[in-house]
Amino acid sequence: MAIFIVEKLIDDVMMLDMRGRITLGPETETVRTKLKELLTAGHHQIILNLGEVTYLDSVGLGTLIGAYTSTTNAGGSLKLLHLPRGVQQLLQVTRLSTVFEIYEDLATAVASFKKEEE
C-alpha cells in the first residue's frame, strides 16, 4: 500500500495528513519530496499527522528524522500529531519521543507554533 499525503494550511501552519505505510521504497521518497517542496515554497511550520499511518519501518523512521533535521536546518519547526500506537512505541524505544514534539490535539499543535514566535 502506498502513502497518500494531503496538504492542509491552518493558520500559516502546513499540515500533512499521511495515510498508508512509510517504508523503504517509493513511500519514503514521496515523503522526502513533499517536504522538500514545502520548505522550498517557504513553509517552515509543519505538522505531520500520522493518525492514519499503518506501518513505519526503520527507513520510514529515518525519513521522519530527516524531515525534522531538514525543517530545523531551514529555520523551521516540525511536529507530530496523532501517533498510532506502534509508531508511538517505536519512538519511545528509540528515545526519539524526546526529540519530536508530539501532540494528540490539532488545535494545541497549531497553537504551539505561536508560542515559539513569542
Residue keyed to cell 488545535: 107
Average pLDDT over residues 73-83: 97
pTM beyond 0.85, yes or no: yes
Calculate mean pLDDT across residues 40-64: 96
> Residue 1's pLDDT band (boundaries 50, 70, 90)?
low
> If one looks up domain 4-117 in CATH, what number appears?
3.30.750.24
